[in-house]
Amino acid sequence: MTDKERLLQLTEALKYHARKYYVEDAPEIEDYEYDMMQKELRELEEKYPQWAQPDSPTQRVGGAPLEQFESVAHRFSMESLQDVFSFDEIRDFDMRMKEHDAQVQYTCELKIDGLSVALSYENGLFLRGATRGNGQTGEDVTENLRTVYDIPLSIPEKRPLVVRGEVYMSMQSFERVKREQEDLGQPQFANPRNAAAGSLRQLDSRVCAARGLSCFCFNVQNAQELGFSSHYESLQYLKEQGFSVIGPLLFTGNIEEIITFIQEIGEKRGQLTFGIDGMVIKADSLSLRAELGSTAKAPRWAIAYKFPPEEKQARLLDITIQVGRTGVLTPNAVFEPVRLAGTTVSRASLHNRDFIAQKDVRIGDTIVVRKAGDIIPEVVSVIKEKRPPDAVPFEMPRSCPVCGAPVYEDPDEAAIRCTGAECPAQLARRITHFASRDAMDIEGLGPAVAEALLEASLIATPGDLYFLKAEDVEPLEKMGEKSAANLIAAIDRSRQQPLSRLLFAFGIRHVGQKAARTIAANFPSLSCIQSASEEELTAVRDIGEITAHSLKEWLASPQAEHLLTRLQEAGVNMTEPLHSTGRSLEGKTFVLTGTLERYTRSEASRLIEGAGGKVSGSVSKKTSYVLAGQDAGSKLKKAQELGIPIITEEELETML
């Protein structure tokens, strides 16, 4: 046998065995034998590329990454379906259909929970595949779809053919991908549908190939062009062409048989190897479909019955507390593992203290759980008849389970927050805020750099930033020598920021920019603030009891003391420069507009408020002055119309 004959023989043999394995689920050879045949074929194709067939199974492994997906205009509109949620709505649909055809026949098919695609064939070869997109235009994902084994690369039909299908990820593939993501420390897909969608939109088709996607086909888009009069007939044709067609399906004119069929599928859908979220009922006659047409959103000849969320009972083993990046304490239910919507779940959020109190959730209870939208596990209710006699009401902790700092309970909201200045759970967010433009203004220290510094264990508090060296941060990803030097220089410059910025940088609850400027203007050093009583703080205009109490409570915490000590050791400024010797702007209201040259807007606002003035965001008759910089817009125009004085930065300095 010549090399060419062997190449062609292997191509046909591998196509046959791929169909037996992926489409018919009836493999005839072992995986190892199949892999060895594919290896031999790949070697022959590399040696003789002129003989490689366009539908060769070796194309399934993916090729070079794309820069982007091209847009594709669909030749046939890819419509969505009207959803119904009760059997009475199905019967109403049947009555509407029978008004047009008393002998109407239906197909009832499983509704795959995946991603809809259009597959185009010319001269028997797979030409292009596109996502649904908005129904009129989608994305060209041909290279990724070539890696899906149950999409045939060649078919017997030589006439143009457009097939609609649903790409999905089987439960087995989904569990494998989740394990791989976990091993690599990557975020995990929430469910098989998200996994399929994310895989199909990979620019690198080799990644898509490794995910193991599948595709069920359910419609011939150009069926009437090919001479079909029946949808059911076109599905049988798709099977003959080598497509995987969704099954089981029912062909009947009796709507009660369809309802019974739906109930039977609903009871065992958890046993399927792929996810479904409902059943689709379609009028079978293509001429009836043409007569009925579509609304602006969906065809009139089909509906999708959506299954209610699957619910299971489980025993609540524990309630754990998670501290989020903003310091909010979130209770989570830990329960006996149950199978829901195709995946095994054992945890669900209990949201907050009000949710727990409303449902009276207790450790040891038997709870009812489901997946909201078949995605997010949630606790629906408690079966109190099964409650053990020793179950006690759950109480939220009074200290943070991560850092031990006291928690803050706001009577006006359900959230409970950690008050720790150095709580590890909040560090990335706190450091990003500390370095932000209106706080310490450390250029180049955004969320990604903060995360990298923490992951490398280079810092544990914002105070540690001031002890970093360029050689410490240079090895970080995407950093380099110049970027490291720039970052250290920016950190060093921030040591001289005024006290008002430092106060705001701490992220103390109820101490925003304006409050920080007001406090620093009246207590121009940190030691002054520390020695001031809450009564002295509230004597300052615009500083209320809640703000004063929050500030003093934060300053008294051990974590704040440690942070302040660290900052003092680093030589960080803790005083407020006095730009005004009096209250020269008392009673005056200013509006700032345009780009200032000498100050940022925040700095100008601080100067005005430090001299007793107010800063407003809008121009009105009560506005005393408008400070206008370059490219001032509508505020300047309105001030001119109202006759309000327009001043420059030099004039403001004179007034100060």
SS3 for 97?
helix
Q: Which residue has the tokens 């791989």?
A: 180
Please give the helix or strand (H or E) that residue 276 lies within, else none: strand 276-283
Q: Which residue has the tokens 């695609």?
A: 117
Query: Would you state the structure tokens that stand for residue 271, as one six-digit string?
Result: 């046993």
Nearest to 111 by CA among 240, 301, 262: 262
H/E/C letters for each residue in 559-596?
A: HHHHHHHHHHHCCCCCECCCCCCCCCCCCCEEEEECEC
CA-based end-to-end distance of the chain: 98
Work out the number of other CB atoms within 10 angstroms of the CB of residue 502: 24
Catalytic residue of the set 39, 98, 111, 552? 111
Q: 574-608 b/e with 16+ CB inside 10 Å = b? A: bebeeebeeeebeeebbbbbbebeebebbbbbbbb
Query: Would you state the structure tokens that stand for residue 169, as one six-digit string?
Result: 């990820």
Which DSSP category does 21 fall into? I
Instruction: List Cα–Cα distances, 54 to 11, 126, 256, in angstroms.
Output: 10, 9, 47
Query: Would you state the structure tokens that stand for residue 199, as one six-digit string?
Result: 């895989």
CA 646 to chain CA centroid, nearest Å: 47
C-alpha 648/C-alpha 294 separation (Å) is: 63
Residue 111 annotated in active site: yes
CA 455 to chain CA centroid, nearest Å: 22
Q: Which residue has the tokens 């001269």?
A: 123
Peptide bond into 475 cis (omega under 30): no
10 Å CB burial of residue 419 (0-12, 13-18, 19+) is buried
User: What is 140-182 written as a DSSP string?
Assistant: B-HHHHTT-TTS-SB-S--S-EEEEEEEEE-HHHHHHHHHHHH
Nearest to 301 by CA among 81, 11, 71, 20: 81
Helices (H), 407-498: 427-434, 447-455, 470-473, 480-493
Nearest to 110 by CA among 306, 339, 343, 370: 306
Helices (H), 250-399: 255-268, 286-292, 353-359
Work out the number of other CB atoms within 10 angstroms of the CB of residue 359: 16
Nearest to 244 by CA among 235, 253, 252: 235
C-alpha 225/C-alpha 242 separation (Å) is: 20
| Angle of CA points 435, 437, 438, to nearest 5° | 100
Strand runs labelled E in 399-520 = 407-409, 416-418
Query: Would you state the structure tokens that stand for residue 319, as one six-digit string?
Result: 């309630």
Q: CB-hemisphere CA count at 13 Å for 546?
A: 10
Known catalytic residues are 111
